[in-house]
Amino acid sequence: MIAIVLRVTQAVFVLLAAYTVTFCVLRLVPGDPVTVMLTAGGHEVSNADPEQVAVLTAKFGLDKPPLEQYFAQLWDLVRGDFGFSYRTGNPVIDVITDRAPSTLSLSALALVLAVIGGLALACVTALTNWQPLRRLLRRLPALGIAVPSFLGGLLLIQVFAFSLGLLPSGGGRGFSSLILPALTLAIPAAAVIAQVLMKGFDEVAVEPYLNTARMKGLSRVRVLLRHGLPNAIAPTVTMLALIIGSMVTGTVVVEELFSRNGLGKELQQAVLHHDFPVVQGIVVLASVLFVTINLLVDLLYPLLDPRQRDDAEVPEEMLVS
């Protein structure tokens, strides 16, 4: 129970830190939202009506001291009030819910492809006996991690959209438009999964229970999937929170590259237009998603790896120095 309380407290501090860093960074960006709004509306800032500037500044609370703005916005977020967009005047929560389905569908497909691809690559590598091919397969994850997402996306567009004409190069209509951006997000994530799982297979390969299973005459595939995988996969599961977090940040590049109207593209436009409430709302919600998944993984880890639970339950008097 104490461990759960500590993890929840840690999650709250992570959310507070995410909000604080975002608030401070946005205030350090050159320019101010009122100037950007007036410029975007086709007005010359030098000729702007001072009363109009004062009204907009007071409307969005920008006339208050930074510390007062910090606590006022924090209290609004705690109450579920994300404020209004400086650009459109619409509630931030409406902006997010309008763009979220596109990003969630993209991230979900990318996560499925990453898990399948990473598991398949790690299992094939573990079952491969020919050493040159095995060494090649073990180097593939490093290549997948090293290639930037925008470069991988451009290569996929060139091959599958322009050269072969099999898939659309962008847009947000239909399942086919999801495949290339999902692959762009999935490749580095699959590389991380495969890399961690390969290391897990190496660690369990020398365990006595695997030798016992082999001596019973079980096939290599059955030994790997039934006895090796359940014990090697626990560290991989702990990476899910980081993988999902990287996918959320990766959508900023991918949605712009593939012309998809999701949260990533909305975040980019909000930063360019100094739309602080939208940026803050997206960052806070992404942080909530990250810490929630991380918390669930921490709580489920003892179920995936009974050794962790057993170690925690060993009485102190049973430990031998």
pLDDT band at 226 (very low <50, low <70, confident <90, very high): confident
Same domain, 171 and 234: yes
Which stretch of DSSP H or E encloses residue 168?
Answer: none
Same domain, 61 and 105: no
Q: For the chain, what is the domain count?
A: 2
**Closest alpha carbon to 106 in 185, 166, 171:** 185
pLDDT band at 231 (very low <50, low <70, confident <90, very high): confident
pLDDT exceeds cutoff 80 at 246: no
Q: Is residue 166 part of a domain?
A: yes
d(CA 57, CA 206): 67
String of DSSP letters for 4-52: HHHHHHHHHHHHHHHHHHHHHHHHHSSS-HHHHHHHHTT--GGG--HHH
Q: Is residue 6 part of a domain?
A: no
Same domain, 267 and 295: yes
Same domain, 28 and 149: no
29-40 pLDDT tens trace: 776 677 666 665
Q: Is residue 137 part of a domain?
A: yes
**SS3 label, residue 67:** helix
54: domain range? 15-78
Same domain, 107 and 32: no
Q: Is residue 179 part of a domain?
A: yes
Q: Is residue 313 part of a domain?
A: no
Higher pLDDT, 195 or 209: 195
pLDDT band at 42 (very low <50, low <70, confident <90, very high): very low
Q: Is residue 67 part of a domain?
A: yes
Residue type for position 17: A
Phi and psi at residue 84, in whole multiples of 5°?
-125, 150
Q: Is residue 91 part of a domain?
A: no
164-175 pLDDT tens trace: 888 888 777 778
Q: Are 302 and 309 in contact (CB under 8 A)?
A: yes
d(CA 314, CA 309): 9
Same domain, 204 and 59: no
Structure tokens at 179: 């495949």
